[in-house]
C-alpha cells in the first residue's frame, strides 16, 4: 500500500513505500520513480541528452559511486516549499538517512583505523569507485534485450526474485527517461524553428532507443550519452571498440560529427577516461579508424578533458605512435600511454584470462578495469609510505603533529637496530600494520555498500551479475579484485638509503642523532641536513638506490596479494596520486632524505621526487625499470616533463617515441608526459589571468594550471625538465 501521495521526494518516497521488499527492489523502485523527475538538458555545443542522477524535487538520490545520497539543502528547500508535507518528509529522511553509506561506513572503522586515517598514513573505502559498464551489451541489446536476459537468468537462479525485480525496475527507469527525452524533443521541434530538424531526429531516435538496439552512429551516441550521464558520468572505457560497428554503419561525415559531439559533451561534464587502441589475446592490433579520429580531434580541440588513454603493444602501428606524440606535443598531457605487454601480464598473474586481460581499460584517472566485466578498477585505498617511515623512525609517534601522539603500533626503537636489515624490518612491520588498516577499512566499506547500497542498474550492464543472480557490489561481476595505491615511493626510498649509508655504513651519524634531527625538523642540524639532502637519490640510475626503491614496492605489492577483498578477489597495488601528493606531503614529518616536515613537494608518481632526477631522461627511466611493474595491477604512473623544444622537430618526436618504446620494452607500464617550459609555468603562477588555457598533467589527469592549488603548481614546476 502506498504511504505517500505527493510527487515530491520521488526516490525516497518509493524506497520507503517498498520497505518490506529486498534492498535491490527498494533501490530499483526508487530509480524508477525518480526517473520521472531527473533533469534533462541538451547543451548547445553537443545537443546530447544529458541526464542528472538527482531528481530536482528530491533530497535523496542514488549516486553511481556513493550509493544513496542525501542533500540537506534540498531537503530544507522542500520543507519551505511544501510545509504541509514536513512531517512526511521528515519521516522519509529519518528512515533512510541511517542506512546511507557515509554514516555506516564511518561506524565500521575501528579506533586504530580512525587514528591512522586522520594522520593521513592511509585511507580505505572512502567511496564506491569507478566503473566501466558493458556499453556493448547495452547498445546491441537495448533494454528489451536486457529484460529478456534478466528473465532467462531468473529461471536459472531460483530464489533471486528480489535481485531480478530490482534489475527490471532499473531497465524500466531507463525507458522512462528515454520516453521523456522523446516527448521533450517532439515538443521542441514545434517551437524551435532553427533546430526543428535536429529535434525531430532526436524524437524519432528515442521512439526506438533505448528499448531497442542502436542502429547507427547517431542513435548509438544518443543512447550511450543518456545512460552515461544518468549513471553519474563515469568512464566510457574502450570507446573505439564498442562504437566501431555504429561508426561503420554511418557516413564518414556523420560519424565524425558524432565523435566531435561526444568529446564536446565529455568536456562539458569533465568526463573521466576514454581508452583507445590495444591488442587481443593473440597480440593482433585493435586500432581502428575511430582510434585515429579520437586522437585527431583531441589534438585539434586542445581540451584538458576527457582524460585519454592509449594502449600500445608489440604490433602498434607507427602511425598511431606518431599521432599520439603529436597530440602530446600540444602540451595537454594527453594521451597517457599504457603498455599491454606489462598490464596484461600483471592481470593474468591474478587469474584474469588472457582474453579478458586484453580487454582492460582505464577509469577515473588511470585505474585498471576489465571492460564491462569487473568491479575492481577503483581506488580502494592508499598507503603513505612517507608516513610509514615517519612512524618507523619515531616508534609509532606522529611527529608531523608535534610528536606527542602515539598513532601507530610500536615495533621497536630504531636506536636498538644493529643493522640496516633490522631497521628495514621495522619499516616493513609498520607498512603491514598501516596496510592492514587500509584493507580493513576498504572491506568494511565494501560490505556496507553491498548490504545497504546495491546497484541494480550496474548489475544489468556488468557481465556476471545477471548470470549469477548477484549484485554488482556483492561479487556479481566476473572479477572483484581490489587496488590500493602507494604514495611517496621515491621520498621514502631516498630517505631509507640515507639512513643505510649515513647511519649504518659510513657511521657518520648515530641513529639517535638522526632521530633528534628529524624531531627538530633539522633546525640546529645543518650539516646533517646537508648530508641527507645530498645523499644519492632515486631517478639517477644509481643501482643501490633504485633496487632499494624496488624492494619496498615489491614488499608492499606482495603483501597486498595475501589479502582478499569482500567482493571476491585479491588486493593489488599501484601508484596514481591524483591531486593528493601535496596533501600527503604536508601531513608527513621530516624525513632522512632532507625534506622538512610539511613539505608539499612529494613524489606524485613512480618517478623521482620532483627535481631530484638530475641526470636526464635516460637515467630517470632506467631507475624506473628497476621496478617489477608486472606486479602493479592498478595504474603505475610514470610522470615526466619534457622541454617543448623537443617536440618542435620530426627528429625530436622520433627520439621521444624511441625512448618510450625502449622504456616499455624494458618493463615500463605507463607514461604521462607534460610538454612545457619552466619559464612559462613561473609566468603563469605570477600572472594567472594571462595563462587561463595553460594545461598540465597532474598525477593521473590533466587540468588547467591556474585551477590547481599552489602546492600542486609548485610540484609541476619542480619536476625535472628533460631535453634529449
* Span 187-225, pLDDT tens digits: 999 999 999 999 999 999 999 999 999 999 999 999 999
Backbone φ and ψ of 287, nearest 5°: -65, 140
* Nearest in space to 132 (alpha carbons), one of 214, 237, 256, 267: 237
* Span 268-288, pLDDT tens digits: 998 889 999 999 999 999 999
Q: Is residue 144 part of a domain?
A: no
- Tell me the pLDDT band of 90, cut-offs 50, 70 and 90: very high
| Average pLDDT value for the chain | 93
What per-residue confidence (pLDDT) applies to 544?
98
* Nearest in space to 123 (alpha carbons), one of 366, 383, 367, 376: 383
Owning domain of residue 16: 10-124
What per-residue confidence (pLDDT) applies to 66?
74
Interhelix angle for 86-96 vs 10-17, to 10°? 70
Q: Is residue 704 part of a domain?
A: no
* Span 455-501, pLDDT tens digits: 999 999 999 999 999 999 999 999 999 999 999 999 999 999 999 99
Where is 295: in which H helix or E strand?
Answer: helix 289-301
For the chain, the farthest-separated pair of C-alpha atoms sits apart, in whole angstroms, at 85
Reply yes or no on whether the pLDDT at 724 is more than 60. no
CA dihedral sign, ordered 635, 638, 640, 646? negative
| End-of-domain residue from the set 559, 589, 616 | 616
What per-residue confidence (pLDDT) applies to 384?
98
d(CA 354, CA 357): 5
d(CA 354, CA 281): 5
Task: Please tell me what DSSP assigns to residue 642.
Answer: E
Q: Is residue 299 part of a domain?
A: no
Query: How far apart, in Å, do the first and last CA atoms of the chain sit?
Result: 73
Mean pLDDT of 621-648: 92
User: Among the residues of 192-238, which ranges form H helices?
Assistant: 196-206, 217-230
* DSSP notation for 90-128: HHHHHHHGGGSHHHHHHHTS-HHHHHHHHTTSEEE--S-
Reply yes or no on whether the pLDDT at 392 is more than 90. yes
* Span 374-391, pLDDT tens digits: 999 888 999 999 999 999
Reply yes or no on whether the pLDDT at 718 is more than 80. no
Q: Is residue 93 part of a domain?
A: yes
Q: Is residue 403 part of a domain?
A: yes
- 646's CB contacts (< 8 A; 6+ apart) are 652, 653, 655, 656, 675, 722, 723, 724
pLDDT over 90, % of the chain = 81
Other CB atoms within a 10 A radius of the CB of residue 151 amount to 11
Q: Is residue 198 part of a domain?
A: no
Task: Please tell me what DSSP assigns to residue 363.
Answer: E
What per-residue confidence (pLDDT) applies to 683?
84
When comparing pLDDT for 358 and 105, which is higher?
Answer: 358
Task: Please tell me what DSSP assigns to residue 35.
Answer: T
Q: Is residue 630 part of a domain?
A: no
| End-of-domain residue from the set 124, 146, 174 | 124
Where is 634: in which H helix or E strand?
Answer: strand 632-636
Reply yes or no on whether the pLDDT at 35 is more than 80. yes
| End-of-domain residue from the set 616, 651, 670 | 616
What per-residue confidence (pLDDT) applies to 594?
98
What per-residue confidence (pLDDT) applies to 404?
87
Task: Please tell me what DSSP assigns to residue 502.
Answer: I
What per-residue confidence (pLDDT) applies to 713?
81
What 3-state DSSP class applies to 620? helix
- What's the domain count of the chain? 2
Q: Is residue 334 part of a domain?
A: no
Amino acid at each position: 500500500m502506498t504511504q505517500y501521495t505527493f510527487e515530491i521526494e520521488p526516490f525516497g518516497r518509493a524506497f520507503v513505500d517498498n520497505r518490506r521488499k529486498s534492498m535491490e527492489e527498494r533501490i530499483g523502485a526508487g530509480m524508477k520513480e525518480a526517473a520521472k523527475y531527473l533533469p534533462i538538458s541538451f547543451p548547445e555545443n553537443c545537443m546530447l541528452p544529458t541526464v542528472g542522477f538527482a531528481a530536482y524535487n528530491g533530497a535523496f538520490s542514488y549516486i553511481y559511486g556513493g550509493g544513496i545520497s542525501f542533500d540537506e539543502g534540498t531537503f530544507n528547500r522542500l520543507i519551505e516549499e511544501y510545509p504541509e508535507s514536513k512531517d512526511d518528509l521528515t519521516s522519509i529522511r529519518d528512515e533512510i538517512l541511517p542506512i546511507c553509506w557515509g554514516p555506516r561506513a564511518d561506524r565500521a572503522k575501528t579506533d586504530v583505523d580512525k587514528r591512522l586515517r586522520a594522520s593521513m598514513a592511509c585511507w580505505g573505502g572512502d567511496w564506491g569507485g569507478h566503473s566501466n559498464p558493458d556499453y556493448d551489451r547495452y547498445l546491441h541489446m537495448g533494454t528489451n534485450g536486457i529484460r529478456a536476459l534478466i528473465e532467462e537468468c531468473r529461471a536459472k537462479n531460483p530464489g533471486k526474485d528480489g535481485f531480478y525485480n530490482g534489475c527490471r525496475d532499473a531497465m524500466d527507469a531507463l525507458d522512462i527517461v528515454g520516453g521523456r527525452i522523446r516527448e521533450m524533443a517532439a515538443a521542441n521541434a514545434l517551437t524551435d524553428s532553427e533546430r526543428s530538424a535536429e529535434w525531430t531526429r532526436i524524437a524519432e531516435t528515442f521512439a526506438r532507443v533505448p528499448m531497442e538496439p542502436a542502429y547507427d552512429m547517431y542513435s548509438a551516441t544518443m543512447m550511450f550519452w543518456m545512460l552515461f550521464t544518468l549513471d553519474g558520468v563515469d568512464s566510457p572505457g574502450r570507446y573505439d571498440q564498442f562504437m566501431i560497428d555504429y561508426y561503420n554503419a554511418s557516413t564518414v561525415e556523420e560519424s565524425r560529427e558524432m565523435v566531435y559531439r561526444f568529446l564536446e559533451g565529455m568536456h562539458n561534464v569533465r568526463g573521466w577516461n576514454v581508452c583507445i587502441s590495444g591488442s587481443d589475446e593473440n597480440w593482433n592490433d585493435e586500432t581502428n579508424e575511430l582510434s585515429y579520429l579520437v586522437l585527431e580531434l583531441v589534438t585539434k580541440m586542445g581540451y584538458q578533458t576527457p582524460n585519454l588513454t592509449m594502449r600500445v603493444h608489440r604490433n602498434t602501428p607507427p602511425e598511431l605512435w606518431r599521432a599520439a606524440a603529436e597530440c602530446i606535443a600540444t602540451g595537454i598531457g594527453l594521451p597517457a600511454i599504457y603498455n599491454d605487454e606489462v598490464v596484461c601480464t600483471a592481470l593474468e598473474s591474478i587469474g584474469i584470462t588472457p582474453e579478458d586481460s586484453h580487454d582492460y581499460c582505464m577509469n577515473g584517472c588511470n585505474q585498471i578495469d576489465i571492460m564491462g566485466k569487473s568491479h575492481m578498477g577503483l581506488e580502494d585505498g592508499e598507503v603513505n609510505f612517507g608516513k610509514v617511515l615517519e612512524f618507523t623512525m619515531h616508534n609509532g609517534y606522529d611527529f608531523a603533529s608535534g610528536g606527542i601522539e602515539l598513532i601507530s603500533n610500536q615495533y621497536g626503537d630504531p636506536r636498538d637496530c644493529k643493522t640496516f636489515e633490522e631497521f628495514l624490518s621495522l619499516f616493513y612491520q609498520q607498512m603491514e600494520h598501516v596496510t592492514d588498516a587500509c584493507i580493513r577499512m576498504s572491506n568494511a566499506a565494501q560490505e556496507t555498500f553491498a548490504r545497504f547500497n546495491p546497484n541494480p542498474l550496474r548489475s544489468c550492464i556488468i557481465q556476471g551479475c545477471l548470470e549469477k543472480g548477484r549484485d554488482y557490489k556483492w561479487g556479481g561481476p566476473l572479477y572483484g579484485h581490489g587496488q590500493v595505491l602507494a604514495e611517496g615511493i621515491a621520498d621514502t626510498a631516498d630517505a631509507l638509503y640515507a639512513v643505510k649509508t649515513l647511519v649504518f655504513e659510513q657511521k657518520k651519524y648515530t641513529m639517535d642523532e638522526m632521530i633528534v634531527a628529524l624531531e627538530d625538523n633539522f633546525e640546529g642540524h645543518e650539516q646533517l641536513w646537508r648530508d641527507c639532502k645530498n645523499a644519492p637519490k632515486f631517478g639517477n640510475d644509481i643501482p643501490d638506490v633504485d633496487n632499494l626503491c624496488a624492494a619496498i614496492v615489491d614488499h608492499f605489492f606482495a603483501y597486498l596479494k595475501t589479502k582478499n577483498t569482500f567482493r571476491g578477489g585479491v588486493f593489488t597495488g599501484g601508484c596514481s596520486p591524483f591531486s593528493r601528493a601535496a596533501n600527503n606531503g604536508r601531513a608527513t614529518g621530516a624525513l632522512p632524505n632532507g625534506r622538512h616536515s610539511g613539505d608539499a613537494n612529494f613524489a606524485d608518481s613512480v618517478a623521482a621526487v620532483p627535481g631530484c632526477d638530475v641526470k636526464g631522461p635516460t637515467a630517470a627511466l632506467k631507475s624506473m625499470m628497476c621496478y617489477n611493474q608486472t606486479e602493479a595491477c592498478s595504474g603505475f604512473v610514470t610522470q615526466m616533463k619534457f622541454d617543448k623544444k623537443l617536440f618542435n622537430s620530426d627528429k625530436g618526436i622520433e627520439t621521444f617515441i624511441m625512448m618510450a618504446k625502449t622504456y616499455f620494452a624494458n618493463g615500463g607500464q605507463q607514461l604521462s608526459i607534460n610538454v612545457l617550459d619552466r619559464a612559462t609555468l613561473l609566468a603563469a603562477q605570477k600572472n594567472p589571468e594571462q595563462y587561463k588555457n595553460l594545461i598540465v598533467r597532474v598525477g593521473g589527469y590533466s587540468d588547467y594550471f591556474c585551477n590547481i592549488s599552489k602546492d600542486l603548481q609548485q610540484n609541476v614546476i619542480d619536476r625535472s625538465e628533460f631535453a634529449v
